[in-house]
Amino acid sequence: MTTPSLLPGTAYRGIFPVMPTTFTASGELDLPSQLRCADFMIDSGVDGLCILANFSEQFLIADAERELITRTVLGHVAGRVPVIVTTTHTSTRVCAERSRQAQDMGAAMLMVMPPYHGASFRFSEQQIFEFYAGLSDAVDIPIMVQDAPASGTVLSAAFLARMAREIEHLSYFKIETAGAASKLRELIRLGGDAVVGPWDGEEGITLLADLDAGATGAMTGGGFADGIRPIIEAHRVGDHDLAFTLYQRWLPLINYENRQAGFLAAKALMKEGGVIACEAPRHPWPALHPEVRRGLIDTARRLDPLVLRWGR
């Protein structure tokens, strides 16, 4: 498959939500639902997609399943939108192999957390630099650093900017740590043109502040891009009053996903709207509490997102 290409001087921007991984009630992959999920998300107005992220339950998926999901989704999307593939692994070699494979299947970009393992295995800045440099040497497509609390690794703005300047394909940064807006500003100041894509994350809970700080992309949950994209677009054209008003409107649902339901929010919304057949996570992850689910759906119904109508 041909990898989507960018014209010189252009960059990926806008909303690239994370696609959930769909399972049957017994925990098997549900590929028909996976493909319906892709179609729905494209219909909701995304600028691109991301697969196999933490919000995709990547930590509950076997290596052979990763390959199957990547090949199946990229083949089905067929270039309609660019797809970012998460290839995080502690090993430089394994991450590079995963990343080459994703590139060969048609990934537009790779998203990779810094190497870590468990609650206490961490690596020095030099080892992290060598990790990303080795990954860059193995591929020809952009790499996004996922700077997220889950890794337990502190990545300073100065260190991220240095990697952007010195590592060829490392040019996108999803900032999900506390004080994201301040970190984005400092990263942009220090990295200059080498920082091609300063992005917001965390389901958009800090979206408006991050856009004000210079974020050009957002990686959100997959359930309601039709509500979030207009915020980004209004801000991009300078209509900050409209962006604020739209953000106020959608913030209760964003908050419900970020603070209450987590990655099960998108699945619950998609099941409610007939997009997917089953919203269950894989064991041992617990199912969404019925009262949390009820609150999520009630909040969504007040906003009438496409997800609740797409499959009905």
Q: What is the pLDDT of residue 3?
A: 47
**pLDDT beyond 60 at 51:** yes
Q: What average pLDDT does this structure show over 36-63? A: 96
Active site residue 174: yes
Sign of the CA dihedral running 20, 269, 255, 195 = positive
For 293-312, the pLDDT digits (tens) are 999 999 999 999 999 999 98
Q: What is the pLDDT of residue 151?
A: 84
Q: What is the pLDDT of residue 122?
A: 85
Q: What is the pLDDT of residue 36?
A: 98
For 240-261, the pLDDT digits (tens) are 999 999 999 999 999 999 999 9
Q: What is the pLDDT of residue 43?
A: 98
My answer on whether omega of the bond before 198 falls inside 30° of 0, hence cis, is no
- Residue tagged active-site, from 174, 183, 267, 271: 174
> What domains, with CATH codes, occur in the chain?
14-303 (3.20.20.70)
- Is 283 or 6 the better-scoring residue by pLDDT? 283
Q: What is the pLDDT of residue 10?
A: 72
Q: What is the pLDDT of residue 118?
A: 78
| Cα-based angle 147, 279, 225 (whole degrees, multiple of 5) | 55
Q: What is the pLDDT of residue 2?
A: 44
Q: What average pLDDT does this structure show over 263-278? A: 98
For 124-164, the pLDDT digits (tens) are 999 999 999 999 999 999 999 999 988 888 899 999 999 99
Q: What percent of the chain has pLDDT over 90?
A: 91
Q: What is the pLDDT of residue 121?
A: 86
Q: What is the pLDDT of residue 150?
A: 84
Tokens found for residue 204: 């958009």
Residue 7: other Cβ atoms inside 10 A: 6
pLDDT band at 9 (very low <50, low <70, confident <90, very high): low
**pLDDT beyond 60 at 116:** yes
For 200-235, the pLDDT digits (tens) are 999 999 999 999 999 999 999 999 999 999 999 999
